[in-house]
Amino acid sequence: MKLTQFLAAAVVALPATLASFHAAAAPVVYTSQATFNTAIAPHANGMDTFTTFTNGAVLPPSQVRTAGAFAYTAFEPTGLYQGLSADGFLTNNIPSNFIVLSGFAPSINAFGANFFGSNFFSVFIAGESIEVNIFETNSTLFSITLTATDRASFIGYRAGSSIASVTFRSLQNIGLWPSVDNVTVAAIPEPMTLSLVLLALLGAAAASRRKAANS
């Protein structure tokens, strides 16, 4: 096959090829913590269980946290608190304020955590409604409201690009505070990019041309 014929055929096929790669990178939402953990297990990942402070400790508004080899910052302008629990959790001072998790380094494209409520004394309380927002670097926003939460309530998200930040707050501003535990992050390799597709096509075209010249 001549080079020009090969490239013409490749151009015709390229939109369908790119569509398949785009579909592979589409965001995925998980409500099962076990399923999410299985999906990220083959890739670089880490978990923050919030057990590094004394239970009930009052924390500064900004906290640098680690989840395995990943670092990030937890922020709430009026202050953060360590929950009263055997395994710890993170909560805040004003229920309606967003707790912001950001500055993930290295960058991540998968995030999961348990979201639930706690009371004035930073003790877990079932039944709270929590608003969760996940912002991607490509301007995609995933937003969900979790209702009737308990300690097992979970949301996981596999993004189509890098994750810039995660915010969450209580939607019940009297007596219930937003809380998070088991923050899990992962960096999952992206599907083949457009540049790699084009390089593969050009490589195949050159090989075809050399074969034709030698025959």
Domain with 98 in it: what CATH number? Answer: 2.60.120.260
**Residue 123: DSSP 8-state:** B
pTM (two decimals) = 0.79
**List of the chain residues with pLDDT < 50:** 2-4, 6-8, 10-11, 13-14, 16-24, 193-197
CA dist list (Å): 4 to 13, 71, 205, 210: 14, 50, 9, 13
Provide the domain count of the chain. 2
Q: Note whether 126 and 186 are same-domain residues.
A: yes
Q: Note whether 67 and 163 are same-domain residues.
A: yes
Q: Note whether 107 and 178 are same-domain residues.
A: yes
Q: Note whether 179 and 209 are same-domain residues.
A: no
Q: Note whether 19 and 85 are same-domain residues.
A: no
The parent domain of residue 214 ranges over 1-25+192-215
Q: Note whether 99 and 150 are same-domain residues.
A: yes
Q: Note whether 18 and 33 are same-domain residues.
A: no
Identify whether the C-beta of residue 155 lies closer than 8 Å to the C-beta of residue 167: no
Please name the residues in contact with 18: beta carbons below 8 A apart, sequence gap of 6 or more. 194, 197
Q: Note whether 160 and 183 are same-domain residues.
A: yes
**What is the predicted pLDDT for the residue at 190?**
79
Q: Note whether 93 and 184 are same-domain residues.
A: yes
**What is the predicted pLDDT for the residue at 57?**
86
Q: Note whether 174 and 209 are same-domain residues.
A: no
Q: Note whether 32 and 114 are same-domain residues.
A: yes
pLDDT tens-digit series, residues 136-189: 999 999 999 999 999 999 999 999 999 999 999 999 867 899 999 999 999 999
Q: Which parts of 27-158 fold into alpha helices (H)?
A: 33-40
Residue (of 130, 132, 134, 168) closest to 147 by Cα position: 130
**What is the predicted pLDDT for the residue at 24?**
45
Q: Which amino acid is at 176?
A: L
Strand partners, 58: 81
Q: Note whether 76 and 112 are same-domain residues.
A: yes
